[in-house]
Structures are given as structure tokens and as C-alpha cells.
Amino acid sequence: MDSFWQWVAGAMLTVVLGIALGKHSKDISLVLTMVVCCMILLAAAVYLQPVMEFVKRLQTMGQLDDGYGQILLKAVGIGLVTEFAVLICNDSGNSALGKSLQIAATVVVLWISLPLMESLLDLIERIMGGI
């Protein structure tokens, strides 16, 4: 929990340094922001590991198909990475780039969730056929 306060302090420090640098070299200021974002996300991932293990345990307890859980996890991963990239794009003033990345991520998530939709369709067909 202590490291959380370090992240907050690091982010505030970066804001000040970024403003100071931004007046003369905007590019290096942007790189500084990106590095700190990466560092905070890397540090936060340590706390995500036990959560993922818990999700895996729930999956085994509920005897769910591993394929479905994997699709869900992949979608979450794509969402997180895309959000990070989109925010950086917006910060640097390239919102068109960010928006197109968001659309691309949506398409990819739809593509990876196709097996889920197919199995849902199969289930509906089976139920309707049974009636």
C-alpha cells in the first residue's frame, strides 16, 4: 500500500517537471510523461497478479471452459493497453490518432470474442430446436 503514495508523489513530480520542460522541449516532456505512465502501470501490475490468480481459482471452482476466460482476459488486456496509448495520443494533441486506435481496439476485441458469440448462437439454436 505504501508504494501507492510513491506513485502519487511520482505523478505530481512529473507534472511539475513536465510543465518546466514543456516550455522549451515539448518532445522530451512527453517522453517523460510516457515513461512515468509505464512505470506506474508496471508497479501496479504487481497487485494485479493475486487478483488474476483468484479469477483463475474461481474459474476452476465453477468448472468453466478455459477458452472463455482467456478471451475475457485478452479483452481486458487490450482495453488497458489501448486506454494507455489513447491517453498519451490525446495528451500530445493527436486525438485523431487516439480515436482511430480506440476503434481498432474495439474491432480486435469483437474479433477475439467471435467464438463466444458463436457458442451463444449454438446454445440459442439448441434451445429453440428443443421446443
Partner 1 sequence: MEIDLIFKIAAIGIIVTILHQVLARSGRDEQAMMTMLAGLVVVLMMMAQKIADLFELVKRLFRF
Decide if residue 110 touches partner 1 (CB under 8 A).
no
One-letter amino acid at 65 equals D
The candidate with the shortest Cα–Cα distance to 32, out of 65, 10, 49, 52, is 10
Distance, CA of 82 to CA of 38 (rounded, Å): 13
Residue type, 94: N
Among 59, 73, 91, 94, binds partner 1 (CB under 8 A): 73
Of the pair 25, 121, the CB lying nearest partner 1 is at 25
Residue among 10 and 92 whose Cβ is closer to partner 1: 10
* The binder of partner 1 chosen from 12, 19, 27, 119 (CB under 8 A): 27
Q: How far is the CB of 105 from partner 1 (least distance, A)?
A: 13
> By CB under 8 A, is residue 121 in contact with partner 1?
no
The angle formed by the CA atoms of residues 87, 82 and 97, to the nearest 5 degrees, is: 60
Dist CA 104 CA 35 (whole Å)? 24
* 115 in Cβ contact with 57 (< 8 Å): no
**Residues making contact with partner 1 (CB under 8 A):** 3, 6-7, 10, 13-14, 17, 20-21, 24-25, 27-29, 31-32, 34-36, 38-43, 45, 48-49, 52, 70, 73-74, 76-77, 80-81, 84
